[in-house]
Each structure stands twice: as structure tokens, then as C-alpha cells.
Amino acid sequence: MKKQSIDDSFFHHTSVAIAGASTSYNIGHAFVSCMLDSGFKGRVYPVNPGGGEILGLKVYPSIGDIPGTVDYVISCIPARLTPQLVRDSAAKGARIVSFFTAGYSENGRAEGRDLEEELLRVAQASGVRLLGPNCLGLYCPDIGLSFACDFPREKGNVGFIGQSGGNSIYLIRAAGQRGIRFSKAISYGNALDVDESDLFDYFAADAETEMVAAYLEGVKDGPRFVGALKRLSSVKPVVILKGGSTGAGAIAAASHTGSLAGADQAWEALLDESGAVRVHSLDEMVDMLVTFEYMPPPQGRNMVLCGSNGGFTVLTADEYVRAGFKLPPLSPQDQHDINDVVARFSNTDAGMILRNPFDVTNIGSGEGHYTIMRRLADNNVFDLLTVQVSISNSGWPHAESPFRFWPDMFLDALLKVHREVNKAVAVIIHSAISDVDCQRSLELQHKCSSAGLPVYTSISSAAKAMDRFLRYHERRQD
């Protein structure tokens, strides 16, 4: 039987069965609970020989006992029982079986590899496609399908594939916090059947998906992957994190998802040639998604910096210059004008830096911040306006300090400028220390990303992501 190709029907299901869900807490139970919490729009069938009820849903003794058809089956049963599960699923019309179940090739033993081969034979004979094993499966917010209860419910334009379930959870949550929404995300584990190349080809054609991120540990069919990657990155930005790029990492990857990690130099060359953006951590991946999502491609690297605290202003300038940006000075006339503007809002310039980079900590008026930043954003010398706000210092010298209002005042002024002026703008909200800092930082992040601004959480990570973004576009202009 011919393999079903990966198309929208791979993601849009009207019924899901979870094999191995128990009436008390286990991982299958948790999957059932997630479907309900995530607002899955189809039917949910827990399956367990013990029967009973989970969260008001009848538990069926076997897949075969479910009335009607089943589109998507999630396996949480022991590995040795899974070939029969695939047969039963096929008989019920399932298009896809996803295996939380682990204990296959990644354990390095012959019986694990044998089981995988058996699964593959059964699947190929029946036309069912397999996801994993050793994975979390599908996240498709459009239909409320999810593998964690707190993933964003709204759909978006980012496609993600992750060979590690834990890394997939982190990436979706962390990017979600920074305003990223997903078209579809797939945790695909050992990639026994459906693999990164299948998914890249799907995303290349998927109209909902405008950029793609991937956490890969290894690929089995190199030439096919090279083709799929090149096709995808010729039409959409692709961000790739390669795990197992060192000897010890590769050993871990083999034990983790049975992956052959491959030489790092070959990966470096391939990713460079394909035009994909390579990152080295999940946080760098989130930074890239935020940048591609929220930053219009700037015309060049001339930046004006504005923010809080002289010392952080100095360090921010250092980071951006090291990352290849330029901070041109204002012309004498522009400098004269900006000094006049500042003089309207402050009777002294003491304790501020009023040249590029700007430290305007001691401006205590939102109108002042607006007027200064509007003037800087209007200046065509600058391709980008980057602002940085230190959270921990805004409670100096004590929690009741008027400085605590500074970040809101300053960022509100920036948002007004951003609405009015067509200029690439970036926001760094950094240096949170306490739990109170964290909470304020998250609120301010949300305020800015809701307004369509890219937000970063450290000076160095912002400079690195923006440099990669500029490189991406500079390469396409050559």
C-alpha cells in the first residue's frame, strides 16, 4: 500500500483515542485531561482494558470497541503491545498513530530495533502513518489538539518540529510567552516513519505556516533531508537547532532518539548553504522567531539606542557594535534640536547621556519620552530604534520609589511612536532578579508584544538575534 503523504488531514482530526489512559493519574490520563483543557473540538476516547471513566468520558476496553471511526491514536502502552495497537487503529480508519511509548531503537538493544521494524511493516501494510515512537505527537491549536494544558489556544503562523518532547514543550511555552503562535507543532521523537523531511515538505506548502523552526538530533536519509531543507528555506525562514553536535552530545542523542547525529562541520556547511538560520539554544530559537515575526527588515545597520541607566547604556552600545551594528552620531543640527527637546522636559542634563546611545533615565515625563523618541525615530539616518529597560533598577532605591513607574511610562511612549512611525523597533526588557521583577517583566513583555514589537530579555541575546536577522536579509539582497 502506498504511504499516505503528509497533508492537512494529518493535523485535522475529529476523533482521538488515547490507549493506556487509566482512571487514576498516568500519562494517558494526562493526555485525556489535556484534550479537554485545550478545548479539543472532536471526540476523545480513552482506551484501557480496565474500563471505567476518566473525567466523565467512558473508557473503552480496546480501540475496536470504540463506536465509529478514530482519526488519531496516541499510544501510552508498553512497546511490546504496540504492533497490535497499530493493526487495531488501522481497522478503525485511523490515519496516524503517535507513540508516547518509548523503549525502541534508542535503548540500543536488538529487541528495540526489531519492534520498530515490526511497527513499520504493520503501518506500511495498513496505510497508517506513525509518529515517533518516543514523542509527544501533535499540537494543532486550530482544532484544540495539544500535548500540554497551557499551550496557546490561538493559532499562528509558526511551524515547529522537535525531536525531543521536553524541548518541544519548552519552545512552545517560551515562544508563546513572547507572543509567538503556531500553525502546527510536531514532537516526532525517533522518526521511525514520519520524519523531518516529510514535515519540512508539508510546511513548505502549508499556507498557514510562514516560518519554521526545528530541533533536530539526527537525520537518517541525508540527501532527502538536504532537498527538503533547501526547498523549505527557499520559500520561508527556517531556524534550526542541531542537538548532538559534539561527541558527547551525539552519544546522548543516540540514547535519546536513536539518532545518528552526524559531523558538526557537515551540518554547519549544509545549514549555511541552505540559508537556514542556525542557533545554539532554544532561547536563541525563540529570539529568532520573535524577530522574524515582529521586525520588518531594516534597510541597514544604523541604529539609535535609547534607554535607562548609564552603565547599561554603555554595555548595550558595546554589545551592538560587537554584533556588527553602527551607532552613528547625530548631526550638529539634530543634536542641537534634541538638546532643545530635552531642555523642555528637564532643567538639567546631569545624570543622562544625550547622544547616541541615549540614556534618558532622568526624564520623568511620558510626553518627554515620546517627544525625544519620536524625534529619533523620524531621523532617517537611523534604520532601527532599539530601547532597553532595566527592570531591577526601576525599584531603586526602594520598592516605593517613583522610578518604578519609569518602565511603563517609557514603554508607553515608545508604543505611541511605534504606531506613528514606520521604523524597525526592538525592545529589551532585562535584568529581572526577584519574583516581583519577573512578574513586571512578563507584564511589560506582554504589553510590547501585543503591540507588535519584538521583545528580548537580555542585551546580548537581542544583539545576537538581530544580527542573525540582518544577515539573513543581507544575504538575500546580494
Residue type, 270: L
The stretch among 51-59, 121-129, 240-248, 407-415 that binds a second copy (CB under 8 A) is 240-248
CA angle 314, 318, 319 (to 5 degrees): 120
Residue type, 445: Q
Q: In the window 326-355, what residues touch a second copy (CB under 8 A)?
A: 326-327, 329, 348-351, 353-355
* CB 275, min distance to a second copy, A: 23
**Residue number with CB closer to a second copy (95 or 313):** 313
How far apart CA 247 and CA 126 sit, in angstroms, is 39
Q: Does 311 bind a second copy (CB under 8 A)?
A: yes
* 3-state secondary structure at position 395: helix
Q: Does 173 bind a second copy (CB under 8 A)?
A: yes
**Residue number with CB closer to a second copy (206 or 309):** 309
Distance separating the N- and C-terminal Cα atoms of the chain: 47
33, HSE (Cβ side, Cα atoms, 13 Å): 13
**Residue number with CB closer to a second copy (236 or 407):** 407
Of 403, 405, 401, nearest in space to 413 by CA: 405
**Residue number with CB closer to a second copy (241 or 425):** 241
**Residue number with CB closer to a second copy (198 or 217):** 217
Q: Does 390 bind a second copy (CB under 8 A)?
A: yes
**Residue number with CB closer to a second copy (157 or 259):** 259
Eight-class DSSP state of 402: G
Among 44, 47, 123, 253, binds a second copy (CB under 8 A): 253
How far apart CA 308 and CA 359 sit, in angstroms, is 5
* CB 67, min distance to a second copy, A: 27
Among 221, 433, 471, 474, binds a second copy (CB under 8 A): 433
190, HSE (Cβ side, Cα atoms, 13 Å): 29
Report how far apart, in Å, the C-alpha atoms of 371 and of each of 363, 367, 456 are: 11, 6, 24
Q: Does 268 bind a second copy (CB under 8 A)?
A: no
**Residue number with CB closer to a second copy (24 or 477):** 24
Q: Does 209 bind a second copy (CB under 8 A)?
A: no
Q: In the window 176-195, what residues touch a second copy (CB under 8 A)?
A: 177
Among 49, 51, 52, 166, binds a second copy (CB under 8 A): 166
Q: In the window 38-77, what residues touch a second copy (CB under 8 A)?
A: none
| Grid coordinates of 13 | 482530526
How far apart CA 154 and CA 359 sit, in angstroms, is 38
Q: Does 97 bind a second copy (CB under 8 A)?
A: no
Among 48, 98, 101, 183, binds a second copy (CB under 8 A): 101
**Residue number with CB closer to a second copy (331 or 401):** 401
Q: Does 118 bind a second copy (CB under 8 A)?
A: no
Residue type, 3: K
Among 39, 51, 247, 300, binds a second copy (CB under 8 A): 247
**Residue number with CB closer to a second copy (275 or 310):** 310
* CB 279, min distance to a second copy, A: 11
Phi-psi region of 108 (alpha: psi -120 to 50; beta: other; left: phi over 0): left
* 3-state secondary structure at position 253: helix
Q: Does 462 bind a second copy (CB under 8 A)?
A: no
Residue type, 244: G
* CB 101, min distance to a second copy, A: 7
| Grid coordinates of 73 | 491514536
Q: Compute φ and ψ for 151, nearest 5 degrees.
A: -70, 155
Among 401, 405, 474, 475, binds a second copy (CB under 8 A): 401
| Grid coordinates of 460 | 546580548
Among 42, 222, 227, 249, binds a second copy (CB under 8 A): 249
The dihedral formed by the CA atoms of 187, 191, 197 and 198, expressed in degrees to the nearest 10: -80
Angle between helices 110-126 and 82-91 (to 10 degrees): 10
Among 82, 89, 163, 371, binds a second copy (CB under 8 A): 163
2: CB partners within 8 A, 6+ apart: 127
**Residue number with CB closer to a second copy (101 or 197):** 101
